[in-house]
Amino acid sequence: MPGPAGLKSAVVGAVFLAIAVSAALTSWYTVAEHEQGMVMTFGRVTNYTEPGLHFKIPWPVQSVEVLPVKKTFALKFGYREKDGVTVDVPEEAMMLTGDENIVWADAQVEWRVADAKKFLYGSADPEKVLVNATSASIRSVMGTTDLDLAITTGKVEIQAKIQENLMKLMDNYDVGVQILAVKLQDVEPPDAVKAAFQAVTDAREMKNTKINQAEKYRNEQVPNARGEANALIANAEATKKERVAHAQGDVAKFNALYIEYARSKDITTKRLIIETLEQVLPGAEIYIMDQGDGGTVKYLPLREVKGGKE
């Protein structure tokens, strides 16, 4: 049996062996694919390590913090998901609009750790900072937007404004968080007035349908009306040209006749009378009556005589 000195040496040896084994086991660490290692020497950040197996000086000289800097996280605002069940958080989702109505708005914010050092030491709780900044951004935008726009056609624009505001806030807070996207989930009036707003929405959709139908009818009828108008204008132009040409012909004929009349009035006058009779007499009923001394009226039916000869 060893004496006191031997026992003491054995205990010291065992302690040193345990320290050596512990140092060997804690000197190696692994950084996963989506992570980044932050090496601290006496509490001060001295190095960053990428995915893989790495060595460090045992504690208390060096320590390592590993953060998932390449992983995308999702912040649920206005609701939570637990075991596949969605639970509403009214104190987050209920807010006022620009026209002093109440709206329910919840969202999902996608973010990642952009700077491991700032994320660890820039704030005691960077995720809480993100929640507060998200609330401020959503309420700020909704507070300047009318309810009607928020629950109908304004979702995309509102979402973009919220993301812009949130990115600016997180840059100012400088806690190592990068905003990737803001996605509005539900923007709707509270249940108590939802039916009334649905009626308004239905009426608006009906109005838009009627407008579209009217536009379609107009687009169909206007070309037809224009075609008919163009046809009427073309016919009127043709009639106008025809009448003008006819009038010009009559004027030319009259002017030529007047020239002949000016040269020989008597001959021209007689010729006109003869030409007029030639036009009138063929269609006239002609009777020649002669009352002689004997008192007998003589009647000569020239048309019948002429017809008989024919």
pLDDT tens for 182-202 read 999 989 887 777 777 778 778
Q: Is the pLDDT of residue 59 over 90?
A: no
Q: What is the mean pLDDT of the chain?
A: 82
Mean pLDDT to the nearest integer, 238-263: 83
Of 154 and 29, the structure prediction assigns the larger pLDDT to: 154
Are 82 and 155 in a shared domain? yes
Are 109 and 196 in a shared domain? no
Q: Kindly indicate the confidence band of residue 288, based on its pLDDT and cuts at 50, 70 and 90.
A: low
What backbone phi and psi angles, to 5 degrees, belong to 40? -120, 130
Instruction: Please name the amino acid found at residue 240.
Output: K
Is residue 297 within 8 A of residue 306, CB to CB? The reply is no
Token duo for residue 174: 């400088």
Q: Is the pLDDT of residue 253 over 90?
A: no
What's the number of domains the chain is made of?
A: 4
Torsion on CA atoms 139, 141, 146, 150, rounded to nearest 10? -90
What residue has token string 């040496």? 9
Among 128, 161, 189, which residue terminates a domain? Answer: 189
In a domain, 302, yes or no: yes
Q: Kindly indicate the confidence band of residue 67, based on its pLDDT and cuts at 50, 70 and 90.
A: confident
Are 120 and 175 in a shared domain? yes
The span from the CA of 110 to the CA of 112, in Å, is: 7
Among 189, 217, 250, which residue terminates a domain? Answer: 189
Are 258 and 269 in a shared domain? no
Token duo for residue 290: 């002669």
The residue among 77, 173, 76 whose CA lies nearest residue 119 is: 173
In the chain, where does DSSP find H-type helix? 4-26, 90-93, 116-121, 126-142, 147-151, 155-173, 191-263, 265-280, 302-309
Are 209 and 229 in a shared domain? yes
CATH at residue 137: 3.30.479.30
Mean pLDDT to the nearest integer, 47-75: 84
Of 23 and 201, the structure prediction assigns the larger pLDDT to: 201
> What per-residue confidence (pLDDT) applies to 272?
79
Instruction: Please name the amino acid found at residue 282.
Output: P
In a domain, 8, yes or no: no
Structural domain including 39 reads 18-67
Mean pLDDT to the nearest integer, 11-17: 59
In a domain, 10, yes or no: no
pTM to 2 decimal places: 0.56
For 23-27, 92-96, 205-209, which range has the lowest pLDDT when averaged over its residues? 23-27
pLDDT tens for 221-236 read 888 888 888 888 989 9
Are 152 and 94 in a shared domain? yes
In a domain, 139, yes or no: yes
In a domain, 6, yes or no: no
In the DSSP assignment, the letter for residue 35 is -
In a domain, 257, yes or no: yes
